[in-house]
Amino acid sequence: MRLRPHHVRTRLMLWYIAIFGAVLILYVCAASVLQFWQLTRQVYHGAIEDVETAEGLLYFGQDGRLLMREDYHNHPESLLLIDRMMQVFAPDGSTLYRNDRLGNRYLGGQIFPGEGESGYNERMGRLSDGTRVLLISHVHSIDGRPLLIRLAYDIAPLEQRAAQLVGLLLLALPFALGIGGFAGYNITRRALTPLEDLARRTEQITANRLHDRLPIENPDDELGRIGRVLNELLGRLEYSFDQLRRFTSDASHELRTPLAALRSVGETGLQKECTPEEYRDIIGSMLEEVTRLTRMVESLLTIARADSGELKLAISTFTVLDLVHEAIALVDILAEEKNQSLTVSGDPDIFIRGDRIFLRQAVLNVLHNAVKYSPTGSTIRISVSRSKHFSVGESRAILEIVDEGPGIREEDQPRVFDRFYRVDEGRSRETGGSGLGLAIAKWAVEIHGGQIGVRNVPSEGCCFFMSIPASPSEVKPGPVANGELPNPLPSVKAL
């Protein structure tokens, strides 16, 4: 079973102690190695001086044996060198001298070529009984005879000093870890206190208090950035909740009206005996309301699926003029009833790439509005052109639909694409709209990386314009991702 502390501050403290302990252990090891190396260097430096001293004390006796004057105390102040072991070799490898400290042990193994000839040869070795020693060799001539002198020093005192240092440092390690853990816990607690305050204030914000914002002391540090992100999130949530409330309220109002009309017509028909013709009129009125209600529900379903990202785009390449003619074919009968004329102009070689059905729906919804709100006998002009964004080198298709209606006040223009929004003058429910058509058109254009807007045209009505990224003109129309486009076109009603 894995034990994991619940609090972040505890986990941070444990991590701090673990890292701090690892650093201290590395420091102990490094300090011990460094001390051992420095002591070794001191021994080697003293050994060189001791070799030079020993060379002056060696002499051949009358019987030809190599002897050493023992009445000379060399370096009495150096405690590291009093336990030296010494062995002198002849050029043929035979031993000429051993001191009492060495005894019968052999020092350093066989003589290797060039040993001690060019200077002082330093190395670590073992005696014949396994004792580890620091060994130095040097060739010296006595009475014209070259001799190899080896001096060695037991490494045990150095290891004992290194072990004492390690022991002292390890003995202080728990106290250092305790102090470090206490300091780390307090530092972590102080560092996390603003975050806890932030969490506590965030917990107090409910769906009814989304207008509250978190206080930010320093917007430039990490906690300030978290606070900014949370405030931005609260802003988006507040906007989404407000939009949802408005959407629910507007949808309820729009759905209640046709349902009330259905109930009223039905109750009126039940209150009296009617002729078959009167019953047909009642059923026709009810069917009109059902049609309107069905259209609104379909629009709401489309918007809901668009908001949730469930709609899949069937991508193809086609010309803008073809898209316009398809939309005109669906509103042409309504325009003929009002004796209106639709004129189309523009470059036939401007291609766009996207979902043909959704983009046609966007054009159809704007055209349907233009036909509804333009007076009888007026002209609606549709133009297609190309525009180039010089800063990014992107070519865009521009579609403009200009009517001769009453226009839209400038203060109302930013909201005409909001859901269920209708301008007061000449744009009421009685004209057949539900306030969702332009919202769907805006979504369809923006999902293709485009923009849609409206502006008033002097001495005319208003101009709805769409800007959509254009495809290269050499790309010809092709099938959609899920198959060929249906032909003839389906009957798509304006929303």
CATH number at residue 65: 3.30.450
Q: Are residues 320 and 465 in the same domain?
A: yes
CB atoms within 10 A of CB 289: 18
Tokens of 141: 């001539």
Secondary structure class of 377 (helix, strand, coil): coil
Residue 401 has pLDDT above 90, yes or no: yes
408 assigned to some structural domain: yes
Indicate the number of domains in the chain.
3
266 assigned to some structural domain: yes
Looking at 307, 341, 364, which one is the last position of a domain?
307
Q: What is the structure's pLDDT at 405?
A: 84
Query: What is the percent of the chain where pLDDT is above 70?
Result: 84
Residue 437 has pLDDT above 50, yes or no: yes
Q: Are residues 256 and 333 in the same domain?
A: no
Q: Which of 112-126, 173-187, 425-439 has the lowest mean pLDDT?
A: 425-439
Q: Are residues 441 and 324 in the same domain?
A: yes
- 463: β partners: 402, 455
Residue 480 has pLDDT above 80, yes or no: no
pLDDT average, residue stretch 323-345: 90
Q: What is the structure's pLDDT at 473?
A: 54
Q: Are residues 269 and 394 in the same domain?
A: no
Q: Are residues 301 and 323 in the same domain?
A: no
Q: What is the CATH number of the domain that holds 255?
A: 1.10.287.130
Q: Please state, rounded to an integer, the average pLDDT across all residues of the chain.
A: 79
Q: Rounded to the nearest 5°, which phi and psi values hold at 140?
A: -135, 140
Q: Are residues 156 and 32 in the same domain?
A: yes
187 assigned to some structural domain: no
Q: Do residues 32 and 38 make contact, with C-beta atoms less than 8 angstroms apart? A: no
The C-alpha angle with vertex 435 and arms to 288 and 341, in degrees rounded to 5, equals 75
Q: Which domain holds residue 149?
A: 8-160
Sign of the four-CA dihedral 182, 183, 184, 185: positive
Q: CB burial class (10 A; 0-12, 13-18, 19+) of residue 306?
A: middle
Q: Are residues 414 and 379 in the same domain?
A: yes
Q: Do residues 105 and 127 make contact, with C-beta atoms less than 8 angstroms apart? A: yes
Whose CA is closest to 145, among 100, 106, 92, 98? 92
Q: Are residues 322 and 235 in the same domain?
A: no
pLDDT tens sequence across 145-199:
888 888 888 888 888 888 888 888 888 888 888 888 888 888 887 877 777 788 8
Q: Are residues 231 and 144 in the same domain?
A: no
Looking at 112, 138, 160, which one is the last position of a domain?
160
Whose CA is closest to 435, among 380, 365, 492? 365
Q: Are residues 19 and 144 in the same domain?
A: yes
Q: Do residues 406 and 423 make contact, with C-beta atoms less than 8 angstroms apart? A: no
- 467: β partners: 398, 451
Q: What is the CATH number of the domain that holds 334?
A: 3.30.565.10
8-state DSSP, 426: T
Looking at 289, 307, 325, which one is the last position of a domain?
307
Q: Are residues 134 and 230 in the same domain?
A: no
Q: What is the structure's pLDDT at 493?
A: 39
Q: Are residues 84 and 148 in the same domain?
A: yes
